[in-house]
């Protein structure tokens, strides 16, 4: 054999009880599980570790990064060996040459990917979606990657500038053309069709995405391609989870039901907890159960922890970005020069005076004044922080002005102090509702957004939190069986996408594997790396506890370090067992 993993505790991805055994690998496949005899080119001692399938991330945004990066971090650093991109209806294909700048502004706004990096890094050796897949097929990666046909670029490809306006309706001929191109994409290997219906997705210029209010006629017209092809999944995000408007939520859920019913295809959509409607997720789960009872394959994509912003003077966001003085200085200088300027007494005084006059509500107010939700990032990171550890609580105990205290906190560590701000999935200050979502019978573990929100959110480490936190239990004592957690990160996600050749430690499956020191599994705070094209910055988060990650029988990561191996390839559509 090429590889034998000896003496690990195998959690095989099916949800079955774990067992101690060996795994034998030959030519990229698992050829033996249990007591494996014989020799191998390499033997890995997995004593004291668990052996799992490689994790399958169904919600990433590496659509641009695949042009220039073979490693595809942070996902690959967190045990992921297969990923789906093109989610939320955004991406870079199909794309006419005169729409390149528009699509860059779109992804820069929606997914916080630096436009300078995209301008320099995108190869644009494609126009149609099949061209895009062909371009990816000429590249190699540390993980396997597949792509959805995204609605926003499709709309502008067919409708021109009108496609970027969500109030503009396509003609029947334009809907038919979008359907035809989606069918063409599915035949070429698209995983499915994705769209966005959230007001929070805006271009760099602040405009709503053109798909925001797409009609049922448009969506079903396009999705007819999946029905015709007899393959592909539907993925979307809707504002149904964050609204107090029962009628609006009901209309969105009815649209979701109609899409699943008309196409007969699997569908998943984002469900989170929002402070404006903290219990809406329960009603959505009830409706999903009703859809399932009606024979529809509809699932909620949920997260294993709060959706958390990372605030820092060295990152994209901090509470003082609304200050004209801060914006002027930050536009003129970066790095140590910026921090030195922010430390000067007169600059500090001007920024604090301008900040004291800010009175924002909504999400902007949370970032600017939500001190009760701001916490220093610890090592390892505490993703269930207590209110008495917030910066507001600290300032109160010290009898300090909270604005000034937060400003000075951000200047710690040479101005690179990171502040954690959980803004979704944390309405009651604990993870009880996250546990409820994760243990829902029709939930998929997703929403990691790997490759996106480069300077603001770093959630590509979701698989590590899923396994590490929930196998031990939350602070309120809720836990999930390790076997169920691994199943959710592997076989369940793989089957949803139609990938039947991976996701379990069984003979015949791809040898995508993780060897994990479960007791040592943890996440350090993200670091700010300037490794994007044109020197663009992003947040990178590594994990402790992964002894080896193996992709198609090749060790790609050893003790958290990339070996440089690139056995990963483009995945075209379903993958047969």
Q: Would you write out the chain's pLDDT as a tens digit for each of its 577 residues?
A: 999 999 999 999 999 999 999 999 999 999 999 999 999 999 999 999 999 999 999 999 999 999 999 999 999 999 999 999 999 999 999 999 999 999 999 999 988 888 999 999 999 999 999 999 999 999 999 999 999 999 999 999 999 999 999 999 999 999 999 999 999 999 999 999 999 999 999 998 999 999 999 999 999 999 999 999 999 999 999 999 999 999 999 999 999 999 999 999 999 999 999 999 999 999 999 999 999 999 999 999 999 999 999 999 988 899 999 999 999 999 999 889 999 999 999 999 999 999 998 766 544 578 888 999 999 999 999 999 999 999 999 999 999 999 999 999 999 999 999 999 999 999 999 999 999 999 999 999 999 999 998 889 999 999 999 999 999 999 999 999 999 999 999 999 999 999 999 999 999 999 999 999 999 999 999 998 989 999 988 999 999 999 999 999 999 999 999 999 999 999 999 999 9
Within 8 A by CB and 6+ apart from 3, the residues are: 24, 25, 40, 41, 42, 43, 44, 511, 550, 553, 555
Within 8 A by CB and 6+ apart from 337, the residues are: none
Q: Is 63 within 8 Å of 86 (Cβ atoms)?
A: yes
538's torsion region: left (phi>0), alpha (psi -120 to 50) or beta?
Answer: beta
Structure tokens at 158: 């067919």
Q: How far apart are CA 355 and CA 368, in angstroms?
A: 8
For the chain, the structural domain boundaries read: 59-68+81-306+439-453, 311-422
What radius of gyration, in Å, describes the C-alpha atoms of the chain? 23
Predicted local confidence at residue 359, as pLDDT: 66
Structure tokens at 157: 């490809």
Q: How far apart are CA 261 and CA 265, in angstroms?
A: 8
CATH of 59-68+81-306+439-453, one of 3.20.20.140, 3.40.50.150, 3.40.50.300, 1.10.3720.10: 3.20.20.140
Name the residue among 306, 310, 309 with its Cα closest to residue 425.
Answer: 306
């Amino acid at each position: 054999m090429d590889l034998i993993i000896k003496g690990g505790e195998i959690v095989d991805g099916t949800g079955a009880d774990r067992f101690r055994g060996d795994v034998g690998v030959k030519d990229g496949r698992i050829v033996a599980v249990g007591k494996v005899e014989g020799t191998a080119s390499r033997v890995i001692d997995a004593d004291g570790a668990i052996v799992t399938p490689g994790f399958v991330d169904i919600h990433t945004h590496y659509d641009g990064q695949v042009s220039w990066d073979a490693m595809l971090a942070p996902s690959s650093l967190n045990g992921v060996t297969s990923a789906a991109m093109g989610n939320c209806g955004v991406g870079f294909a199909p794309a006419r040459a005169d729409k390149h700048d528009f699509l860059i502004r779109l992804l820069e706004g929606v997914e916080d990917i630096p436009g300078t990096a995209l301008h320099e890094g995108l190869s644009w050796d494609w126009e149609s979606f099949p061209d895009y897949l062909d371009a990816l097929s000429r590249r190699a990666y540390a993980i396997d990657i597949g792509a959805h046909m995204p609605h926003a670029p499709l709309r502008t490809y067919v409708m021109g500038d009108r496609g970027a306006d969500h109030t503009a309706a396509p003609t029947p001929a334009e809907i038919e053309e979008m359907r035809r191109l989606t069918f063409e994409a599915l035949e070429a290997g698209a995983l499915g069709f994705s769209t966005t219906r959230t007001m929070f997705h805006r271009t760099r210029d602040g405009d709503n995405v053109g798909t925001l209010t797409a009609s049922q006629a448009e969506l079903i017209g396009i999705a007819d391609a999946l029905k015709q092809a007899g393959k592909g999944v539907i993925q979307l995000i809707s504002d149904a989870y964050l609204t107090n408007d029962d009628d609006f939520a009901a209309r969105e859920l009815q649209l979701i039901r109609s899409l699943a019913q008309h196409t007969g295809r699997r569908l998943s959509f984002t469900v989170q907890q929002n402070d404006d409607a903290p219990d809406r997720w329960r009603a959505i789960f009830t409706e999903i159960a009703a859809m399932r009872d009606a024979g529809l394959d509809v699932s909620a994509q949920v997260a294993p922890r709060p959706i958390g912003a990372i605030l820092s003077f060295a990152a994209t966001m901090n509470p003082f970005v609304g200050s004209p003085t801060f914006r002027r200085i930050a536009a003129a200088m970066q790095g140590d020069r910026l921090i030195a300027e922010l430390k000067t007494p007169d600059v500090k005084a001007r920024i604090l005076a301008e900040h004291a006059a800010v009175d924002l509500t909504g999400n902007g107010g949370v970032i600017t004044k939500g001190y009760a939700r701001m916490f220093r990032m610890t090592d390892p990171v505490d993703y269930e922080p207590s209110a008495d550890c917030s910066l507001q609580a600290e300032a109160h105990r010290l009898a300090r002005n909270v604005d000034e205290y937060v400003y000075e906190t951000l200047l710690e560590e040479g101005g690179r102090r990171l502040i954690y701000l959980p803004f979704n999935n944390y309405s009651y200050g604990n993870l009880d509702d996250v546990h409820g979502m994760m243990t829902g019978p029709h939930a998929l573990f997703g929403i990691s957004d790997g490759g996106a929100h480069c300077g603001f959110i770093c959630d590509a480490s979701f698989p590590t939190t899923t396994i590490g936190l929930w196998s031990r239990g939350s602070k309120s004592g809720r836990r999930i069986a390790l076997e169920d957690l691994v199943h959710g990160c592997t076989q369940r996600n793989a089957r949803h996408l139609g990938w039947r050749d991976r996701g379990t430690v069984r003979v015949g499956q791809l040898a995508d594997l993780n060897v994990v020191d479960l007791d040592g599994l943890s996440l350090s705070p993200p670091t700010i790396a300037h490794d994007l094209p044109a020197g663009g910055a992003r947040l990178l988060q590594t994990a402790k506890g992964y002894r080896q990650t193996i992709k198609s029988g090749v060790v790609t990561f050893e003790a958290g370090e990339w070996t440089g191996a690139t056995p990963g390839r483009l995945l075209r559509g379903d993958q047969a067992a």
